[in-house]
């Protein structure tokens, strides 16, 4: 943990932190209002897909700010959407449906949980390599295999550390990625696809408090702690993006 904390930077990315928090706020407002509405389930699922696609573009934009390079050509944006679409298909179209079908088969559920855990670990590192290649106009067919071969160990080690840290803190605080009822990789994977931004726990509890007319004063400590944790998650995640960029810059 001491080694992790020694690698954190704040001053060089503080503007990007503010921008990320603003984008999280806008996304979460749209997602929570949509979730609370009485719209048709198929319309809601379609809107969730649209929001997830937009969030991938927001993440790509954040990466350009941290890596201080940009490529917003139509081709690059289309590829961002295609990758996110593939992720949505894998997570919601395949794994989620298989989990529902195999719910009573312990052996198959174990296999699906392992597959979900694998996706949870590799999807973001691969996404960052893909984005780096797009932003720097690399030949993706050559760059991605090279980057994976050279940097996969370091990238996965740090990302696994980050994931474990977030799950532990969310378990202690009752966040959305809590493992208090057991570690469910598939559930966490789905949550990360549609609610995987640092401020979602804080905004969801705030939204629920306002919706049920709870006294915000009585919830202040809980909301304040969740806000600080969300802010800390944001700093950690942006530092990881910066770290990946520094690895790939060295090539």
Q: What are the pLDDT digits (tens) for 143-201?
A: 999 999 999 999 999 999 999 888 888 888 777 777 776 778 888 898 888 888 888 88
- What residues contact residue 212 under an 8 Å CB cut-off, 6+ apart? none
Q: How many whole angstroms separate alpha carbon 13 and alpha carbon 39? A: 39
Q: What is the pLDDT of residue 221?
A: 74
Dihedral sign computed on CA atoms, order 30, 35, 36, 41: positive
Q: Where are the alpha helices (DSSP H) in the chain?
A: 2-6, 14-36, 41-67, 74-88, 96-101, 106-135, 140-173, 185-195, 200-211, 220-249
Please check the confidence at residue 5 and state whether its pLDDT lies above 60: no
Q: How many whole angstroms separate alpha carbon 108 and alpha carbon 104? A: 9
> Looking at residues 210-237, what average pLDDT do you find?
78
pTM score, whole prediction: 0.91
Q: What is the pLDDT of residue 75?
A: 96
pLDDT in tens, 70-114: 999 999 999 999 999 999 999 999 999 999 888 888 899 999 999
């Amino acid at each position: 943990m001491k080694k992790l904390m020694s690698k954190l930077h704040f001053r060089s990315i503080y503007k990007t932190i503010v921008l990320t928090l603003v984008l999280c706020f806008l996304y979460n407002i749209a997602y929570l209002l949509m979730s609370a509405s009485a719209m048709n389930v198929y319309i809601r699922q379609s809107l969730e897909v649209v929001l997830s696609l937009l969030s991938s573009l927001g993440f790509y934009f954040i990466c350009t700010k941290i890596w201080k390079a940009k490529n917003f050509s139509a081709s690059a944006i289309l590829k961002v959407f295609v990758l996110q679409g593939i992720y949505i298909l894998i997570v919601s179209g395949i794994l989620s449906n298989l989990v529902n079908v195999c719910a009573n088969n312990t052996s198959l559920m174990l296999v699906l949980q392992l597959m979900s855990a694998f996706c949870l670990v590799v999807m973001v590192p691969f996404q960052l390599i893909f984005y780096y290649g797009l932003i720097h106009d690399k030949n993706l067919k050559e760059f991605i295999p090279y980057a994976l071969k050279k940097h996969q160990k370091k990238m996965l080690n740090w990302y696994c550390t980050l994931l474990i840290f977030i799950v532990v803190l969310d378990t202690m605080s009752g966040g959305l990625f809590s493992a208090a009822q057991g570690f469910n990789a598939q559930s966490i994977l789905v949550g990360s696809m549609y609610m995987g931004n640092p401020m979602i726990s804080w905004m969801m509890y705030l939204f629920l408090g306002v919706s049920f007319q709870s006294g915000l004063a009585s919830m202040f400590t809980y909301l304040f702690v969740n806000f600080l944790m969300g802010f800390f998650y944001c700093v950690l995640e942006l530092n990881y993006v910066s770290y990946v960029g520094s690895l790939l810059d060295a090539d």
